A and B are shown apart, each in its own frame.
Chain A
Amino acid sequence: MFLMTATSLCSSNVYMSDSRRFKSYNKMAGERNPASCYLDERTFQLCCQLFLQHSETIQDGWSWEQIKGTDEGFMKKTVLMPVKPSVLHKQHEYSIQDENMVTDDIQANVEDETAGVQAVCEIHAVLRYEYHVLYSCSYQIPVLYFRASTLDGRPLSLEEVWSNVHPNYRQRLQQGPWDTLTQQEHPLLGQPFFMLHPCRTEEFMKPALDLAQAENKRMNYIVTWLSVVGPVLRLDVPLSYSTEVSAPD
């Protein structure tokens, strides 16, 4: 169906062994089309356009935000998401003695549902998640930014966002919390968002890209990428995107 022949999408894992580095170099040098090693911004925008057309068809709620006076923009979608009240903790427990990393808290909160639960009367709390798909010219790949808040506008803390990461992904991401899911300034809006760090993207994407290339198929990069990273953050990408959205020419 849809393929983009891409190799390493960004600087790989920081502490690569020599043999792996050598392999990557060879891949880039000869085995694949050098022009498609990375996603250039034009292709990013074309993929998004095709993605958005389908979103319109199935009313999936994505829209394009153009930056006034520039040729830059990003995709955006807002979702209301019911979650178990245990995801929400007491608002930002900041302690003047506590200078430790948050991983200890995450573990405790995952295991003990009743610890620090806000006095919430409903069976489910509803959260508002806003997802943005941006292009990174430094790494030449797309990046997923998002922010989350309760319905009354209270922004979620990093710990609460962690609690809401799909359990299947939590352990893998937890190995390097500061490398994968972090709070960042949105490069176009200047406000605090959370970001799924691009340097881990290759781990998620590589199997999908290798398979598509092996089957000699052209792929819409954004469809494949978002289908892989979206579910980590509870963003659903319906299957019809994979069947209906084409690659740009």
Chain B
Amino acid sequence: MADDKDVLRDVWFGRIPACFTLSPEETTEREAEPYYLLLPRVSYLTLVTDKVKKHFLRVMKAEDVEEMWLEYEGTPLKWHYPIGVLFDLHASNTALPWNVTVHFKNFPEDDLLHCASNSVIEAHFMSCIKEADALKHKGQVINDMQKKDHKQLWMGLQNDKFDQFWAMNRKLMEYPTEEGGFRYIPFRIYQTMSDRPFIQKLFRPVSPEGHTLTLGDLLKELFPAAICAEGGWHQR
């Protein structure tokens, strides 16, 4: 795990430059300048866009303001997906900055979850962590942690504190090789070309014959369309 620290840091500190523009459908008292922001890949939109909201609220009347929601080229952005996933899913082949449109009315009830407060984001995040641990360790590691440990995990994410986060997360990433490592690998393959938002199946890290399996093995078994006939990679 110590050798991977550089990789862990690179993943954590990954950023996406974004440009937020108010939707022309919104009623404003005066013109609003676009707002630029570097978005952390590992975080969630509703957690990091308070400044965006405040910026645009300045030009709007309170009565015209409902729950803020974001959209990219007509597609409502699902705040409950990590930002990096959203970008890779919708805009990875386009030029930076990522141009996101801001809305304050006509919330798309059929597409987006509501996000009334940070507690909702925290609950969602912790629920994902718990589900992942259910797959890795039958939930034993997360259940053995105290409430303050869970809080530290969340605060680490919320406040962008790598060390604070990983002090706790390393317990969840413990891979006891003598016990076969993780029971199952927690993974999701997100896709845009289907109603089904992602593929998530049970997958053991070790084959019945005892070979350690790779990401390639996983894709071959569960999502062969991702791998080109020539043996190269087609990423989505």
CB of B67 within 8 Å of the partner chain: yes
Question: Taking A12-B143, A15-B146, A21-B143 as contacts, is the C-beta distance between A183 and B135 under 8 angstroms?
Answer: no
Q: Closest CB of chain B to A158's CB: distance in Å?
A: 7
CB of B31 within 8 Å of the partner chain: no
Secondary structure call for the A interface: loop
Contact B117 A99 (CB under 8 A): yes
Contact B134 A138 (CB under 8 A): yes
CB of A96 within 8 Å of the partner chain: yes
Q: Closest CB of chain A to B65's CB: distance in Å?
A: 6
For chain A, give the interface size range: 35 or more
Q: Closest CB of chain A to B219's CB: distance in Å?
A: 17
CB of A231 within 8 Å of the partner chain: no
Contact B112 A192 (CB under 8 A): yes
Contact A188 B147 (CB under 8 A): no
Contact B130 A199 (CB under 8 A): yes
CB of A166 within 8 Å of the partner chain: no
Question: Taking A183-B114, A189-B195, A191-B110 as contacts, is the C-beta distance between A14 and B143 under 8 angstroms?
Answer: yes
Question: Taking A92-B67, A100-B117, A183-B114 as contacts, is the C-beta distance between A155 and B143 under 8 angstroms?
Answer: no
Contact B123 A178 (CB under 8 A): yes
CB of B32 within 8 Å of the partner chain: no
Q: Closest CB of chain A to B203's CB: distance in Å?
A: 10
B interface size (C-beta, 8 A) = 43
Separation of A191 and B108 alpha carbons in the complex (Å) = 11
Which residues, 1 to 59 on A, are CB-close (under 8 Å) to B? 10-12, 14-16, 21
Query: Which residue of chain B has the shortest Cβ distance to A157 in the bound complex?
Result: B114
B57 surroundings in chain A (CB, below 8 A): 96
Which residues, 170 to 197 on A, are CB-close (under 8 Å) to B? 178-179, 182-185, 187-192, 197
CB of B111 within 8 Å of the partner chain: yes
Separation of A67 and B109 alpha carbons in the complex (Å) = 23
Q: Closest CB of chain B to A32's CB: distance in Å?
A: 16
Contact A67 B117 (CB under 8 A): no
Residue with the greatest number of chain A CB neighbours at <10 A, chosen from B62, B110, B196: B196
Contact A192 B123 (CB under 8 A): no
CB of B118 within 8 Å of the partner chain: yes
Question: Taking A11-B138, A190-B195, A199-B130 as contacts, is the C-beta distance between A184 and B117 under 8 angstroms?
Answer: no
A197 surroundings in chain B (CB, below 8 A): 127
Question: Taking A11-B139, A179-B123 as contacts, is the C-beta distance between A187 and B200 under 8 angstroms?
Answer: yes
Contact A96 B65 (CB under 8 A): yes
CB of A139 within 8 Å of the partner chain: yes
Which residues, 112 to 158 on B, are CB-close (under 8 Å) to A? 112-114, 116-120, 123-124, 127, 130-131, 133-135, 138-140, 142-143, 146-147, 150
B133 surroundings in chain A (CB, below 8 A): 11
Separation of A12 and B200 alpha carbons in the complex (Å) = 22
CB of A101 within 8 Å of the partner chain: yes
A12 surroundings in chain B (CB, below 8 A): 139, 143
Interface string of A89-128 (1 = CB under 8 A from B): 0001010101111100000000000000000000000000
Question: Taking A10-B139, A16-B143, A185-B78 as contacts, is the C-beta distance between A192 and B130 under 8 angstroms?
Answer: no
Closest 5 A-B residue pairs measured CB to CB? A11-B139, A178-B123, A190-B197, A94-B67, A155-B109
Q: What are 8 A-B interface contacts by the 8 Å CB criterion?
A: A14-B150, A15-B147, A98-B116, A138-B200, A178-B119, A183-B114, A185-B78, A192-B113
Residues of B within 8 A of A (CB): 57, 62, 65-67, 78, 80, 107, 109-114, 116-120, 123-124, 127, 130-131, 133-135, 138-140, 142-143, 146-147, 150, 186, 195-198, 200-202
Residues of A within 8 A of B (CB): 10-12, 14-16, 21, 67, 92, 94, 96, 98-102, 137-139, 155, 157-158, 178-179, 182-185, 187-192, 197, 199
